[in-house]
Structure 1
């Protein structure tokens, strides 16, 4: 009987996990006025090695499409208002990353993990907007998604959608963005060629500190 109950419990949990929508936790700092987007131009930052490779990075088509939907235009180095850099990483959730301080609040530590469902992973994307020509950091936004999929590229559309869902985030240092599975790219407007379909944003909620 206990074995049967355990099997039923695991089946129920697995079903619930499959039905649950995706979410991203977002932290933002700095000042990026929403009115700036109407006339703002930007260029993406790349390292010399990335430039020499001559191939788009996995997040670039998504980021370009997302920024275009919010009124930003990619411009020449001479005309750009912002230099936008992106840092993208994935790691197993049981590999802790500690910092000396958590400006604007900290995301809670990972809770107990059930080994039956596989390893949990943490995927992160951090965007930094540097104002030109002086190069000071005007705005920074980080999105984090946790799941059990080791394929980091599958998380990218959710990270970009979370980071840009309410650009700029204002009024709270930390937010939770609920998302649902991306619609087919053919049904979306403003999606650039080569960019995967972006998830739909269900809600954007500030988190209590």
Structure 2
């Protein structure tokens, strides 16, 4: 088995491609060793001590190194853990399931979409799903719709995108411009 590695716009994060499906649906982000208890693979990566984030996409895993950690020393350790996991065909999650939930850990705030905005929300979600999420996944992350209220779209960045120096530019200049172009009711995009 061979695991490809790609850089991401976030210098602290590398994207690992095992050449097989990681998640059967959705995405899953782990931002602490405590969160990682749901996944033996995420737990093993955090056990390295130099990892501050693990993100599972459908066909990739993004790993974020702690500040000051050099990838030349950490990368072989991460690849070794990934190889052991995939070669042994171990389950991704406790209980053996490989499905995921595309909800950030802190997504407990309800933005309360107004039912009167259902058509606008549907347009926004369609654009995010068909145009934005595939591009963000190429960079080792994901973007999650959190809500729409009074012309403002609330989105959460995950994986490589959550700590990326260019994430604000991506939200404001890329995603906001796209949504404003196709959905005139959108006035702003904010990180949630």
TM range (shorter): under 0.3
Bigger Rg, which one: 1
Q: Which has the higher strand share?
A: 1
Q: Which has the higher helix share?
A: 2
Structure 2 length-normalised TM: 0.23
Structure 1 length-normalised TM: 0.21
Q: Which has the higher contact order (CA 8 A, sep 6+)?
A: 1
